[in-house]
Structure 1
Amino acid sequence: MPTVVLDERRVAQWTDIVADGNWWVAEVDGAIAGFVGIGPSRDPLDPTLGELDTIAVDRPYWRQGVGTALMTKALQELKNQYDEAILWTLANYPQGQNFYAKTGWTQSSETRDNGHQVAYRRRFR
């Protein structure tokens, strides 16, 4: 993934996004190890379909259960709020795709960005 420039616009954007209350942070020994966020689907735009917006774990904390704990929290909240959820990931990202499959997501036939991104879905009811 490309490096993101942290500027005032991005800080304001993330402040608004995080303020909705559907974001969680994982800490290990006082350090932020990862974060996850959910909300209504943006693609397709559907307020009844949940979306795993972002899940990210800092590399030193990979394979220590941080991602699984974050996903468990996200899935619990998605299940409380939606009947089904979607996530988008890079088409050529086997590590992420394996993680999503392991945590109960199923790849769908949906793609975007000229096939560079693929969708996974998870039905709760």
Structure 2
Amino acid sequence: MSQSDARRPPTASWFGSNETLCDIGIGELEHAHPRKPWPTIRSATAVDAEVVTRIYIDSWNAGFGELIEQSNRIVTSELVERWRSDLAKSAPHRWWVAEHTGKVVGFVGIGPSRDPVDATLGELDTIAIDPSYWRIGIGKALASLAFRHLVADGYNEAIVWTVKGYERGIAFYEAMGWKRDGGVRDNGRQIRLRRPLSI
């Protein structure tokens, strides 16, 4: 879950527009797990803005409510419009949503780093999952897809920002190969993780 702009606080290509992914490690996305219903991941569009905003707010409140100010956020029309604008952006900014049994339950975005501003450094912009669908592999599927697209877009490494003390999120990133690099911002309330993009 990561953000630096006023639209939203930090949270954190697969080669087809509509793929079924599974709860597996980086570089093994082609193999499906036989026992679980896995999400379908597709490119996001501006039409997804309302559900993306709701998921963002719900995951924000569930994940960060006790860690930083501005907890218990609510969905507003202004926030929906900001997300609508973001989802409509073209490459190098890319967004996807995960659908589980026909319902959008998570999303992820990537692009060039904004903090620091560096067109050669990739960034995992935001990843957010409906809290009702935490811990069933959807976040891992989205993060794996984002990783593959960062590689395909030619980045050699990427960063993600998250909230200091958000141990669930930090453990998730570290399990997927991201490492804290000492970067901080927002008076130390956010920390940066980084990972090389060789596979």
Shorter-chain TM range is over 0.9
Q: Which has the higher contact order (CA 8 A, sep 6+)?
A: 2
Of Structure 1 and Structure 2, which has the larger fraction of its residues in strand?
1
The answer to whether residue 130 in structure 2 is matched with residue 58 in structure 1 is yes
Cα distance in 2, alignment partners of residues 69 and 5 from structure 1: 27
> Partners in 2 of 1:16 and 1:100 — Cα distance?
27
Select which of 32, 36, 41 maps to 2:104.
32
Q: Give the 3-state SS of the residue equivalent to 1:6 in structure 2.
A: coil
What is the TM-score when the length of structure 2 is the normalising length? Answer: 0.60
Distance 2:184 2:73 in 1: 24
Counterpart CA distance in 1 for 2:85 and 2:119 is 18
Whether 2:89 is the aligned partner of 1:20: answer yes
Q: 2:160 aligns with which of 71, 87, 90?
A: 87
- Structure 2: tracts of 5 or more residues without a match: 1-63, 65-70
4+ residue runs of structure 1 moved beyond 4 angstroms? none
Task: Answer with 54-63 or 11-20: which moved more.
Answer: 11-20
- Report 1:38-49 matches (<5 A): 38-49=110-121
Are 1:75 and 2:126 matched, yes or no? no
1:74-121 CA distance string (max 9 Å, x none) = 100111121111100001101000000001111111000111100000
Deviates further, 15-24 or 109-118: 15-24
The normalised TM-score by structure 1 is 0.92
Give the drift of 1:63: 1.1
> What percentage of residue pairs aligned between the two structures are identical?
47
CA deviation map 1:24-75 (0-9, x unaligned): 1111111111110011111001111111110011111111110010001110
- Give the count of matched residue pairs: 125
Q: Does 2:195 align with 1:122?
A: yes
Letter of the 2:164 partner, please give it. A
- What SS does the corresponding residue of 1:115 show, helix, strand or coil? coil
Asked if residue 9 in structure 1 is aligned to residue 75 in structure 2, the reply is no
Of 109, 112, 123, 2:182 maps to: 109
Cα contact 2:147–2:197 (8 A) shared by 1: no
Gaps of 5+ in 1: none
Paired residue type of 1:9: E
- Bigger radius of gyration among the two: 2
